[in-house]
C-alpha cells in the first residue's frame, strides 16, 4: 500500500467521534506499522506538562524503556529543541542516539505543532538501513497535522 493510500484512513481515524484521543493515536500507530514495511516501531511522544521532557503516549512495536526523554537527548529530544524533522539513515552514526533495540537501523522523527508550538512528535524506527525518503517525510507531516487537530 502506498503512503498516499493511507491518508484517507488517517483522516477517518482522526474524525471518528466516539474514540478517545489515545485510542486514535494507537490506531494510527497500528495502521502505519502494519501497512508500511519499513515502519517497525511507531510511537507518539508529547511534552510532559511544563517539564523539559517528552513522555511516550501510545506506540506499537517492541516495548521500550525510553518512556521519558529529556529535551536535547536522543533524536526525539533533539527534535523537541530544533522543531525540525530529523531523518537518521544510520543510527550507529549518531553520537546522540538512544538505542532502543539492537535491530533498529534507522529512525525518523517529525514534530507535531499546535498553534505554532511543538507539542510532540511521531517517532518511527526501522530495522531496514536507510529506508526513509522525502515521501515518508511529507506523509508523516500530513499525519502530524491530522493529529494536531485532535489536540488544539
Ordered by where they begin, the domains of the chain are 3-151 (3.30.450.40)
High-pLDDT (> 90) share of the chain, %: 86
For residue 143, the model assigns a pLDDT of 98
pLDDT at 141 over 80: yes
- Band of the pLDDT at 73, cuts 50, 70, 90? very high
Q: What is the pLDDT of residue 81?
A: 96
Q: What is the pLDDT of residue 126?
A: 97
The pLDDT assigned to 129 comes to: 96
pLDDT of residue 99: 66
Q: How many angstroms separate the CA atoms of 152 and 145, rounded?
A: 11
4-63, pLDDT tens digit by residue? 999 999 999 999 888 999 999 999 999 999 999 999 999 999 999 999 999 999 999 999
Q: What is the pTM of this model?
A: 0.95
pLDDT value of position 7: 98
As a whole number, the mean pLDDT across the chain is: 94
106-110 average pLDDT score: 96
The answer on pLDDT for 80 being more than 90 is yes
Q: Would you say 115 and 152 are in contact if contact means Cβ atoms under 8 Å apart?
A: yes
Amino acid at each position: 500500500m502506498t503512503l498516499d493510500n493511507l491518508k484517507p484512513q488517517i483522516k477517518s481515524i482522526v474524525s471518528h467521534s466516539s474514540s478517545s484521543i489515545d485510542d486514535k493515536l494507537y490506531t494510527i500507530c497500528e495502521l502505519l506499522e502494519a501497512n508500511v514495511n519499513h515502519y517497525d516501531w511507531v510511537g507518539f511522544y508529547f511534552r510532559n506538562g511544563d517539564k523539559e521532557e517528552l513522555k511516550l503516549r501510545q506506540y506499537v512495536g517492541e516495548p521500550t524503556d525510553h518512556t521519558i526523554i529529556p529535551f536535547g537527548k536522543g533524536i526525539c529530544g533533539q527534535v523537541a529543541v530544533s522543531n525540525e524533522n530529523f531523518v537518521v539513515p544510520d543510527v550507529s552514526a549518531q553520537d546522540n542516539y538512544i538505542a532502543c533495540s539492537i535491530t533498529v537501523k534507522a529512525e525518523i522523527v517529525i514534530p507535531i505543532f499546535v498553534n505554532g508550538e511543538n507539542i510532540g512528535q511521531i517517532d518511527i524506527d526501522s530495522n531496514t538501513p536507510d529506508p526513509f525518503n522525502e515521501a515518508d517525510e511529507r506523509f508523516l507531516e500530513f499525519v502530524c497535522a491530522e493529529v494536531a487537530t485532535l489536540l488544539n
